[in-house]
Structure 1
């Protein structure tokens, strides 16, 4: 019996040493030393981080189209714009991406190689003809190196052209900012090339100031982009400039985007301006106040197309379960024309049942000076929505919406990220 006892004692003595060795290996793991977490694989010198997301959406109904005077601006939280002319409308959409980032330490900071594969499969009924789908493709493939100063080269999705500090405060955006996503420097023309094949250099200069310069859209006509940004405790601000068509030496497209957000105790103020050399400009001013259980917000924005928009909104968190939201917004799509304005009132009630389920009901009414195709000059719509978040980065939403034009829409959406 002495031999088994000896073996057992030897094993017991060896286990702490093995555990200590494993502990040393763990602390020396390259992912840990680089501060990377999540889904990772490590070798002696590289940490490979994998992330991704899959989204699915299905919509069915009869959308009836939007009011022609406001166009796609009348979407709000219910998008009625994809109408196919009388027959039922439906679409099924799968959106997915998979990203691999390999990182290794270097003398000047992390050295990274990023590969992102993006794909979608979209089928939409339009006059009973299905739209073609898009298979997966390489959306990003670039290398970068540095810590305080980072050099990036390759195929990138994100431009260094900073477009932050331009979103309207409040739960409901103005008609204009809802359409442009803030303030737009291109006026919807889409002729200004950013991102794509790029060489980017961004540096943190200290005290919250950073600056960057880049050659972007090198697989197109080429753009020269510059940006200066500031981020402090109570103020963030930036100015971004772009010169397009640089590869042929014409420099035809010039654009600028600037914005700031100031936080003063319970109040926030935001201003933004975007413009280009065609004469287009888009400006926005927004403010928000948080007072105990209430949050109030107001926004005014305008464009060089003689568009003027206003919105005011309020939220009240009555308790841990109930939140009430109200908003009113106004749009004059052309101040030189009479009786083309639109005004909308909208309200929403949200109830958090258990921690994972939120029920919402929403109703809105729109008046416009120009009649819709049906002859109506006002529309009332309603929405019932259920959102489920059971954890694990999974989210699912089911909703039903209808309006007084006879339109209806059923929606199912689900997504999971990792």
Structure 2
């Protein structure tokens, strides 16, 4: 601070001798507005306002023969998970015969680019910082399957030669979309209103403290973004919202909000034969989610309880949920537990969902041990399917630049897929990570899936019908600095599938 004061004093003294330099003092003074508001990075300021600009671009390209994945769906289904059935897929080869040439078409590819920019304008007010946030986002994702001779995402029909071509995936947005547009005011108590990001990122709801510590996680947890019951993009959270949060001190904070007023799922709806993209509007019975949350963050313990009622705007509350979690850290030990519940009676669905998880981790010198367990339960119209899973791992920091991981997981389902049978599946994976340089990291992994779920999935020709399926992967990650990252990865399986992946991204702030 002394050096800065000397520099500013020197510049001010020079400014007294020159009118042109004196005019520049206004710029230096305006920079202090951003400093006083705690905003840094790429900023533009006036006498009273600070404008902060952040953004980024990411690109991912996949190529190979991998789209004909064997569906290992046997988990109790959950409509709020990433996949409706919570499936865990294992890539297998697939092909289609070209009706014109008779050749076998098997190549798949997937190209996705995403760009976003966010502008935050802040100023002081009598109630605390007053902010306006505007965020824009565009995603374009195109996929091809079997050389274009198998239908993919869009609802287009094949041409006279049987060619479906490249499909527009529903991850795509309808051009540049308004991803955020809201105002907020306050410091210890903050009021917010407007368009928030869809899902967890735009919600006051806390659905954290629910990720298992063990390497490769748990089967049920993987289906829900490594958490319990709800994916991070849960469609009933965020969106158009009115929210208030308050810090009560001593690590305790509370919040209440009306979210999902716009009732959109955050993705585009692809269809219409010409790959038209539009917003996907959900069932009107789900519009409006009343959310309440209590958080605690201490030196060694974090915990929360989130609860909400879904679809309150029509005057009928047919669905509600709760999510609780906590993490305790004591020296070299960590313990985490989470439990979530959802009741959905919309349109007489009469469905209930439970998902719980307990995980522990211990670190001893070069070794890290982790053990996790979970249970899931789904009941629809009086018919129930449930199950439990276990996971364990050991990690070792062999040298400063080399680490090893070995992990396994298992899941058993009762009345799998409501079909009256019990099913099991398991996975074991070993990984090595080596820092080749300060900016370049290599990763290799080998693993195997097994169980009667695997055998049933691989029973359809031309697949092997084995009760085990093996895979291996190798990749390079590059982070040269400047918020730029890039990676390449290759994957191959015992079922003849292969996939090459390239990623690159750059953020600015």
Q: Could you tell me the TM-score, scaled by structure 2's length?
A: 0.74
**Conserved in 2, the CA contact under 8 Å of 1:66 and 1:74?**
no
The 1:318/1:22 distance shift into structure 2, 3 A limit, reads: farther
SS at match of 1:214: strand
- Across the aligned residues of Structure 1 and Structure 2, the Cα RMSD in angstroms comes to 2.6
- The answer for the alignment partner of 1:140 in structure 2 is 180
Residue 238 of structure 2 corresponds to: 195
Deviation at 1:308, TM superposition (A): 1.6
386-395 or 370-379, which deviates more:
370-379
Counterparts in 2 of 1:195-344, with a 5 A limit?
195-220=238-263, 221-277=287-343, 278-304=351-377, 305-334=385-414, 340-344=423-427
In structure 2, relative to structure 1, the CA distance for the partners of 1:80 and 1:44 (3 Å cut) is: farther
Picking from 163, 176, 180, the partner of 2:224 is 180
Q: Is structure 2 residue 88 aligned with structure 1 residue 74? A: yes
Gaps of 5+ in 2: 1-10, 75-85, 97-104, 151-163, 264-286, 344-350, 378-384
Residues 170 and 297 of structure 1 are in contact (CA less than 8 Å); yes or no, is this contact kept in structure 2?
yes
Give the alignment partner of residue 114 of structure 1, picking from 129, 133, 139.
133
Bigger CA drift: 107-116 or 178-187?
178-187
CA distance in 2, matches of 1:70, 1:129: 28
Q: SS of the residue aligned with 2:34?
A: helix
Secondary structure of 2:323 counterpart: strand
**How much does 1:25 deviate?**
5.5
For residues 93 and 41 of structure 2, what CA distance do their matches in structure 1 show?
A: 39
Shift of 1:73: 4.2
Equivalent position to 2:211, from 162, 167, 171: 167
Query: How far is 1:23 from its partner?
Result: 7.0
In 2, the alpha carbon distance for the partners of 1:249 and 1:83 equals: 49
**What CA deviation, in whole Å up to 9, does each residue of 1:192-239 have, x standing for no partner?**
622111000000000000000001111231111000000001000000
Report the secondary structure of 1:279's partner residue. strand
Q: Taking structure 1 as reference, are residues 23 and 80 closer, same or farther at Cα in structure 2, changes over 3 Å only? A: farther
SS at match of 1:272: strand
Point out the more displaced range, 304-313 or 241-250.
304-313
Report if aligned partners of 1:84, 1:125 keep a CA contact under 8 Å in 2.
no
SS of the equivalent of 1:173 reads coil
The match for 1:364 among 440, 447, 450 is 447
**Residues 353, 17 of structure 1: alpha-carbon distance in 2 compared, 3 angstrom cutoff:** farther
* Kept in 2: contact 1:383–1:399 (CA 8 A): yes
Aligned length: 404
With over 3 angstroms needed to count, the CA separation of the structure-2 counterparts of 1:410 and 1:306, relative to structure 1, is same
For 1:178 and 1:397, locate their aligned partners in 2 and report how far apart those are by CA, in whole Å: 22
Between 337-346 and 318-327, report the one with greater CA deviation.
337-346
Q: Shift in Å at residue 166 of structure 1?
A: 0.5
Counterpart of 1:61 (choices 57, 60, 64) is 64
Q: Deviations over 1:308-352 (max 9, x none)?
A: 211111211111111111101112233676662112110011110
1:150 corresponds, among 161, 174, 190, to 190
What is residue 49 of structure 1 aligned with on the other side?
Answer: 52
Alignment match, 1:3: none
State the 1:131 CA deviation.
2.1
Q: Which residue of 35, 39, 57 maps to 2:38? A: 35
Task: Say if 2:322 and 2:341, in contact at 8 Å, map to a contact too.
Answer: yes
Give the 3 Å change call, closer, same or farther, for CA 308–297 of structure 1 in structure 2.
same
